[in-house]
Amino acid sequence: MATVRLWSDDDAAADPVVSAVFADIRATRKSEFVNDFWRALANDRQNLRRVWEDLKRVMIAPGALDPLTCELVYIAVSITNGCQYCIHSHTAAARAKGMTDAQHGHLLAIVGMANQTNALVTGMGIEPDAAFRVG
């Protein structure tokens, strides 16, 4: 149940901005599949283009972190925020980039531990040690 309608390819074809973004998604990913996130975001074509351009720069263009590590970080954030859509889409993306079951298990264990120690630290109200200071 969505708060916006999902754009079909026919809907997109009637809008030059949306159809250009959908075409670029397909060309960049070398796949005909356009997932529902983009079909929902198409309701605001300016936001659609901006978020896609951002994602290309942060997640797809060569960067200091390799593509699989990028996906693992994305999943860690999405779990902590409780976003099921993003957990599923980025877990699928991580698997497509080679994530093994053992790596997935390790990732979940770390995310669990971090959420546990975050809570312990916060409940005890402690402040960063001077040793952690930058510069």
Site for a copy of itself in 24-53 (CB under 8 A): 33, 35-37, 40-41, 43-44, 46-47, 50-51
Examine residue 97 and tell whether it contacts a copy of itself (CB under 8 A).
Answer: no
**Number of residues engaging a copy of itself in binding (CB under 8 A):** 83
Residue 45 Cβ vs a copy of itself, minimum distance, rounded to whole Å: 9
Q: How many CB atoms lie within 10 A of CB 66?
A: 11
CA distances from 12 to 2, 60, 79, 131 (A): 18, 23, 31, 54
* Closer to a copy of itself by Cβ: residue 10 or 127: 127
Site for a copy of itself in 73-92 (CB under 8 A): 73-89, 91-92
Beta strands in the chain (DSSP E): none
